[in-house]
Chains A and B, each alone.
Chain A
């Protein structure tokens, strides 16, 4: 009913406006029902700019455009050099937007060092608590999950998760997903890296675990490769105007996916990525065509 009313209101708008402001897709986090805009923002490499003031300002501009476009989740890790400090600086400059969903990681093999690392990370971001903390690449996962669950129980953390990438250690990820009370799992998924479809995505759906998709563009290698070829005409059927949007729409059309977190240094790219979560998503047949076409290029 509400959707129908919204649809009528959208139809009443001049077409240009309706296109410029598509309602960004939001997905529910299964463990809480909280709705999350389906495009987040990664920070590996792109935000590791050290003390370079001009590049720090670029990162802040990307964050500003991200929040202005309805984005919420920013993901980082102690592994990412100066990225955490750069995010902290950006958030301070932007007046700590309320919309922020702060997703961080703990990345140390020592369970005892986890809490101190998390504290330092919090200091760098300048936030009181994180929304989500994930065990990065399962490093020291048993001890860290205990810490994170205890933090969650004490109200010092909202969600707990684990991460992997590039198809690594899916067996262990599967075991942990099956046995531990996780809110989130983060993994790599895109039209050419589809291993997660075998077991992890169905298991996430079954167990009610939210899925964060990292490396949607294979760290830019995929988009760079595709840029040499023309975008097929049928991309327009779902309103994709670039390869990046076609990839993101492919990812988001998978129902088990909650949010994809492309990283970028560019304001135009962050807008383009957010826009991919507006408008139509490919159906099963079109997803197959996207994967086959991209795989063949």
Chain B
């Protein structure tokens, strides 16, 4: 692109905030009351990590993989790509992430979850933010609750809950499981920023935090492996 420095972030925004937020209203209306099931599934994963961490990765993978594929198909492809062609490129990446989550859950040597050190606890904080805070953002921003973004239904909270859960995991798998969610957080955060939405900062701060903590996990693991 020539004279790229003359472009502002909002020059890349193809749609108005009104059209964007109405996507969620239509999406929720079409899928209600599936939200109750996805929220319950998300909360169950938190309980599982706290009570039975040994089985957590299996169930995390088995639950998250279909939800990533579901969000890719029903939201990214069937709704969002209509106003933003970039969403049609994000959808295959969501499917790849679904496969990776499934592989991490089923393959021998997959990551162990439930590590509740400071990094893991921060991760659980992000999970709870994605499950409980995210839907409330609609009301806080003066939008109708009918347009709330819900885990397993809308991309942002689904991604946030996923990265939060993954921060309780250990092992080199993180290097494969984190990049796609982080890229999404960055893309969606910048989109919201261009729209002038304050919640952009939640996603952008989340991206930086998870990238740092995820790297820390991997580095520590690496240095331990060297010592051993």
Give chain A's interface residues, CB within 8 Å of chain B: 45-46, 48-52, 55, 79-82, 166-169, 265
Contact = CB atoms under 8 A, between A and B. Distances in A.
A59 to B, nearest CB: 11
B199 interface: no
Contacts of B179: none
Contacts of B16: 45-46, 48, 265
A233 to B, nearest CB: 33
A45 B15 contact: yes
A167 B16 CA distance: 23
Interface string B1-26: 01100100000011110010011001
Contacts of A46: 16
Nearest to A167: B6
Contacts of B22: 52, 55
Contact of A169 (B3, B23, B26, B79): B3
B6 A168 contact: yes
Contacts of A265: 16
B15 A81 contact: yes
Given A50-B19, A80-B14, 15 more contacts: A45-B13, A45-B14, A45-B15, A45-B16, A48-B19, A50-B79, A50-B82, A50-B83, A52-B23, A55-B19, A55-B22, A81-B82, A81-B83, A81-B85, A168-B3
Given A81-B82, A81-B83, A82-B82, A52 B6 contact: no
B84 interface: yes
Contacts of A82: 82-83
A168 B84 CA distance: 24
Interface string B21-51: 0110010000000000000000000000000
29 contacts: A45-B13, A45-B14, A46-B16, A48-B15, A48-B16, A48-B83, A49-B15, A49-B83, A50-B23, A50-B79, A50-B82, A50-B83, A51-B79, A52-B19, A52-B22, A52-B23, A52-B26, A55-B19, A79-B14, A81-B14, A81-B15, A81-B82, A81-B83, A81-B84, A81-B85, A82-B82, A168-B2, A168-B3, A169-B3
Contacts of A167: 6
B2 A49 contact: no
B143 to A, nearest CB: 15
Nearest to B25: A52
* Complex A-B, nearest 7 residue pairs according to Cβ-Cβ distance, in ascending order: A50-B82, A50-B83, A81-B14, A48-B15, A81-B83, A51-B82, A82-B82
Nearest to A109: B1
Nearest to A83: B14
Contacts of A50: 15, 19, 23, 79, 82-83
Interface string B79-116: 10011110000000000000000000000000000000
A107 B168 CA distance: 46
Contacts of A52: 19, 22-23, 26
A232 B26 CA distance: 43
A276 to B, nearest CB: 23
Contacts of A45: 13-16
Contacts of B3: 168-169
Nearest to B14: A81
A158 B23 CA distance: 38
B194 to A, nearest CB: 11
A48 B87 CA distance: 14
A49 B23 CA distance: 9
Nearest to A49: B19
